[in-house]
Structure 1
Amino acid sequence: MSSPVSSSASSRNILRRFGRNRRGSAAVEFALVAPVFFALLFAIIETAIVFFAGQVLETVTQDSARLIMTGQAQTAAYTQAQFKTNVCGRIGVLFDCLNGIFIDVQSYPGFASVAINSQIDGAKNFVNNMKYCPGNAGDIVVVRLFYQWPLFVTGLGYNIANLNGSKRLLSATAAFRNEPFLANPSPC
């Protein structure tokens, strides 16, 4: 049977040898740093994708708004559904267009009367009060597109959601004066 003094000396030797052994230190350090590294990496990737999707939505808004600005939508008597079909034809595969894109087109007699409201209420819900009024020649028109982008990295402590359900409302706006064109007056 070993004495208590020799067993404490052997435990100190074991601890000393364990402290000098560096074979597993890289694995331990990686295990400590990896969760933070991957959380940061995924947050950067998700932010980049959200910014890219926002830019795609801006480009589609500008391109689609030209149909209204030049009077093509009014001359063809587009409904909101037909205008949305045209928008969805330009948007590609990044969005679920038929179920996810919301289009608001409103006309005003002058720039001073333009009123843009937030589409997010106090409880962080999306307010769907979309209208379609492309206006007549010379009217001021504001075209807005909205998409509720799903977020995935919010559970890791990084949250850029501005809607309930871990979603970010992407919006794009085009404001312009309609060009002179010959068409039947818009019934707005």
Structure 2
Amino acid sequence: MILETACIFIGDITLEQATARAGRTVRTGQVATLNQSEADFRKNLCGNILVLLNCDNVRIDLRSYSSFSSIPTDAPIASGRLQSGEFQFERGNPGQIMALRVFYEYPLYTDIVDRFLSDLDDNKHLLMSVAVFQTEPF
């Protein structure tokens, strides 16, 4: 139980750091000026994730918003499942309000941890990291 909880904590910290680094490349215009594909963006983000998390299970939602208050603050979960079908990948334009939301469905292995942390079906816990910013005038 202690080991599994520690792994979840380390996974969450790793996801936060990777999201912050990837968000910076959007904020500074690197993603837009290089016309970076979603696959390349994912590769760069995952390059900052420890082997503890499987990059194939990382879900990315990167999009612009009209205001900071219109950015959703809750996880898109319905009926015990992550609703990633509507996720987008927008590179951003100068001066846009952007949100990079990164999700990872972390599998739980011990019954006691599952009882307290499972927020998804199939004995999984959702790790969520968000970076919100206004892009620079690149």
Which residues of 2 match residues 21-32 of structure 1 at below 5 A?
none
Which position in structure 2 is the counterpart of 1:87? Answer: 45
TM-score by length of 2: 0.90
Which position in structure 2 is the counterpart of 1:76? Answer: 34
Runs (5+) with no aligned partner, structure 2: none
Which position in structure 1 is the counterpart of 2:82? Answer: 126
3-state SS, counterpart of residue 58 of structure 1:
helix
Structure (1 or 2) with the greater strand fraction: 2
| Counterpart Cα distance in 1 of 2:130 and 2:136 | 18
3-state SS, counterpart of residue 64 of structure 2:
strand
TM-score by length of 1: 0.68
Closer, same or farther in 2 for the Cα pair 1:157/1:106, shift >3 Å? Answer: closer
Q: Which has the higher contact order (CA 8 A, sep 6+)?
A: 2
Q: Which is greater in Rg? A: 1
| Counterpart Cα distance in 1 of 2:70 and 2:28 | 22
| Counterpart Cα distance in 2 of 1:107 and 1:68 | 11
Which residues of 2 match residues 20-169 of structure 1 at below 5 A?
43-97=1-55, 99-121=56-78, 123-128=79-84, 129-154=86-111, 158-169=115-126
| Counterpart Cα distance in 2 of 1:117 and 1:54 | 17
Structure (1 or 2) with the greater helix fraction: 1
Deviation at 1:118, TM superposition (A): 2.6
Q: What root-mean-square deviation, in Å, do the aligned CA atoms of Structure 1 and Structure 2 show?
A: 1.7
Q: Confirm or deny: 8 A CA contact 2:108 2:114 kept in the other structure.
A: no
Deviation at 1:161, TM superposition (A): 0.7
Larger deviation, residues 110-119 vs 43-52? 110-119
Runs (5+) with no aligned partner, structure 1: 1-42, 182-188
| Counterpart Cα distance in 2 of 1:112 and 1:74 | 24
| Counterpart Cα distance in 2 of 1:170 and 1:159 | 14
Q: What per-residue deviation string (whole Å, max 9, x for no partner) do you get for residues 122-151 of structure 1?
A: x21111121011321110100011111010
3-state SS, counterpart of residue 116 of structure 2:
coil
Which position in structure 2 is the counterpart of 1:27? Answer: none
Closer, same or farther in 2 for the Cα pair 1:92/1:163, shift >3 Å? Answer: same
| Counterpart Cα distance in 2 of 1:104 and 1:115 | 11
Identity %: 34
Count of residues in correspondence between the two structures: 137
Closer, same or farther in 2 for the Cα pair 1:101/1:157, shift >3 Å? Answer: closer
| Counterpart Cα distance in 1 of 2:113 and 2:68 | 44
